[in-house]
Amino acid sequence: MAEITAALVKDLREKTGVGMMDCKKALVENDGDMEASIDWLRAKGLSKAAKKADRAAAEGLVAIATRNDGKGMTASVIELNAETDFVARNELFQNAARSTAKAGLDVDGVEAITAAKTADGEVIGEMVTQLIATIGENMMVRRSKRFVVAEGAIGAYIHNAVAPELGKIGVLVAIEGAGDQAAITELGRKIAMHVAATNPLSLSTDDLDQANVERERAVFTEQALASGKPESVVEKMVEGRIRKFYEEVVLLKQAFVMNPDQTVEQLVEATGKELGSSLKVQGFVRLALGEGVEKEVTDFAAEVASMTGGN
């Protein structure tokens, strides 16, 4: 019996794109013979997954999972991509997205989630590989985010939901504080709905990328100088525009969509007073399906014309 080393398993995985456990099993079944193991995986329909890996996967689902931890909560949001929107309606794919989000409650980061196990003991990475072979599309766990609140709650919201906890946009808002957890959860849910609509760049002004601020400041300064106003007036004009910029892109400074007379920061403070507790937004995340993925656009008319000689 040949020794099945980690290096051998890794080599087979790189050649086939199949998960580590299936690669090890193939090598064991074929006494370490690489070519025979590749053929074994092909016969099982698993190596098909490798052939899909270079295809753009910009569709799929965003999934959310939450867990009550007594005084606190844990929540996870993940993006599981596939090639076509049709797959998002597949029950196997939906179950895989839910399982992946639930795995994200205990580990953070795509790599850790991929190596984690589902409630049934299946490794997430292996599950996705099997799904690729079954459905015939490239798939990947693309992004994830996990929040843990020791005391307080995490509000969750799915926009364009296709099923419970599954949709096109997923938002989590983590809020720290004592008091009625259900009320804090509802506050978080309302703010999550706001985030889905406004897509803020940061939680606070301190978190905002200073490169963005300086870029805006440069534009505002140039515009103000072009007005011919004195330098002292220009400075005040620019600071006013910067404040307006903060109100547009910083979550806590934004006007709350359900009550524009109140900022999100004021909403949190007011709710805290009602509950008799100081509340603080710990953080938020908004995952929009396919965001940043370059999608391949097929011009079917041009394709047909080329096949028919333009006639």
**Mean pLDDT of all residues in 268-276:** 96
Q: How confident is the model at residue 300 (pLDDT cuts 50, 70, 90)?
A: very low
Please return the burial class of 130, using the count of CB atoms within 10 Å of its CB with bins 0-12, 13-18 and 19+.
buried
Distance CA(143)–CA(196), nearest Å, equals: 17
pLDDT tens digits, 102-154: 999 999 999 999 999 999 999 999 999 889 888 888 888 999 999 999 999 99
Q: How confident is the model at residue 95 (pLDDT cuts 50, 70, 90)?
A: very high
The dihedral through the CA atoms of 23, 26, 30, 36 has a sign that is: negative
The CATH number of 6-52 is: 1.10.8.10
| Domain residue spans of the chain | 6-52, 59-206+250-288, 210-246
Contact 22, 50 (CB under 8 A): no
Q: How confident is the model at residue 98 (pLDDT cuts 50, 70, 90)?
A: very high
Distance CA(307)–CA(311), nearest Å, equals: 9
**H runs (alpha helix) in 48-178:** 48-52, 91-103, 110-115, 124-135
pLDDT of residue 56: 54
pLDDT tens digits, 30-83: 999 888 888 787 776 665 555 554 555 678 999 999 999 999 999 999 999 998
* 1 DSSP 8-state letter: -
3-state secondary structure of 263: strand
pTM of the model: 0.75
Strands (E), the chain: 59-69, 72-82, 140-149, 152-159, 166-167, 169-176, 255-256, 259-263, 280-288
**Mean pLDDT of all residues in 162-191:** 96
Which residue bears the tokens 């016969």? 43
Q: Which two tokens stand for residue 229?
A: 């106003």
The CATH number of 210-246 is: 1.10.286
| Arch. (CATH architecture) of 59-206+250-288 | 2-Layer Sandwich (3.30)
CA distances from 279 to 149, 178, 211, 259 (A): 12, 8, 30, 19
Indicate if the pLDDT at residue 296 is higher than 60. no
Contact 287, 169 (CB under 8 A): yes
pLDDT tens digits, 196-255: 999 999 999 999 888 878 888 888 888 777 777 777 787 888 888 888 989 999 999 999
Compute the half-sphere exposure of residue 186: CA atoms within 13 Å on the CB side of its CA: 8
Q: Which two tokens stand for residue 145?
A: 């985010």
What does the longest C-alpha to C-alpha distance in the chain come to? 86
